[in-house]
Amino acid sequence: MIAENGETEPPTTLLWVQYFLAQHFDKLGQYSLALDYINAAIASTPTLIELFYMKAKIYKEGTSAVENLNEMQCMWFQTECISAYQRLGRYGDALKKCHEVERHFFEITDDQFDFHTYCMRKMTLRAYIDLLRLEDILRRHAFYFKAARSAIEIYLKLYDNPLTNESKQQEINSENLSAKELKKMLSKQRRAQKKAKLEEEKKHVERERQQKNQKKKRDEEEEETSGLKEELIPEKLERIENPLEEAIKFLIPLKNLVADNIDTHLLAFEIYFRKGKFLLMLQSVKRAFAINRNNPWLHECLIKFSKSGAKMMYFLDKSRQEKAIAIATRLDETIKDKNVKTLIKVSEALLDGSFGNCNSQYEEYRMACHNLLPFTSAFLPAASEVGSHSAALNHTANCDVLASEI
């Protein structure tokens, strides 16, 4: 290197400039650039211990606190994160935490293999029996139940209201934009891409750090045979193709180990209801009914099941139309949870032909729902009926006035 005054700089000048820049970008939080400079310095002078110390410092500061808690299997924190993300509507982040908790339980099970030979060698048979019993009920733990329940609820929401592809939505919207608005949108997209690139660089740093910190020989052997674990990307998790199948994966351990909790069977009903599995729906509501017959969610599930059963009755035997409609349109005292959403679904089924031609039954059901919920717009009478009814009232009033004048 040649300085401004023409003198030749010593070779170590570039080394210490790179070292300084690594410290500078580390302080700014730009860990990817800091690593680039420190790696360049190490490549030129691999015998300088200060460079490796600085690289370790960058890795330490570049590590997310949340990721550290994940490695420590701090599940109370992760279950709270799941609830927070779920309330915020950040379903991808919530599902990522759910899968991380599920992996913790898999790793706990996997780690116990080291103790099998140890217990037999040391003849600690009582402790070994306790270990085996723990393995049998491991996913009965409250942390797993919370994570699994949230995951199932989120997958049900994503099945009912799947998220649209943002890029396709932007293409549709860009067709109706002016030149100024389109320029603004493109600028916003470029900023978003730049931000995503920085995030990807941070993730790359994190992945590299995780790979460097793998200490156990067993983990290295697993990587050789099965490869690294699939990365959990929130955007992919919330746009899964088969959300119900993913929900069932979380449901199976709950059905096997937490069968005494009514939420397990009600969650199972919601999944099987969307899959159209009538026998499994019946099994779920019967088990829930045996636990707590007064549960309000159970009553909602019973109404859904009765309506679905009525539709299936008509589908299998058209001659039983009257009975099927009578079951679907029941509004007596035995039906405790008469919510608007369920009543509207029944009226739509009467209109769309699910029960055949039943205009008169629909009108009777609409009037009954209108008397029950007079301010619900879906059950209001048609405009012509309202007009004729008001005209009749006006005619009666006019007659009364004329009679009094006479």
pTM: 0.61
Tell me the C-alpha distance between 243 and 125, whole Å. 43
pLDDT of 315 above 60: yes
The whole-number pLDDT of residue 220 equals 52
Going by the DSSP 8-state scheme, the letter that residue 378 receives in this structure is G
203-250 pLDDT, tens per residue? 666 666 665 665 454 455 554 444 456 788 888 899 888 999 999 999
The confidence band for 11, taking pLDDT boundaries of 50, 70 and 90, is confident
Q: Which residues make Cβ contacts (< 8 Å) with residue 323, sequence separation at least 6? A: 313
The whole-number pLDDT of residue 348 equals 82
Tell me the C-alpha distance between 145 and 158, whole Å. 20
Residue of higher predicted confidence among 98 and 384: 98
The whole-number pLDDT of residue 219 equals 54
Report which residue type is found at 117. Answer: T
The whole-number pLDDT of residue 378 equals 80
261-280 pLDDT, tens per residue? 999 999 999 999 999 888 99
Q: Compute the mean pLDDT over every residue in the chain, rounded to the nearest whole number.
A: 79
HSE-up of 154 (CA within 13 Å, CB side)? 32
Contact 147, 101 (CB under 8 A): yes
pLDDT of 319 above 50: yes
- What is the domain partition of the chain in residue ranges? 12-63, 69-163+231-258, 259-374
Nearest to 199 by CA among 235, 170, 158: 235
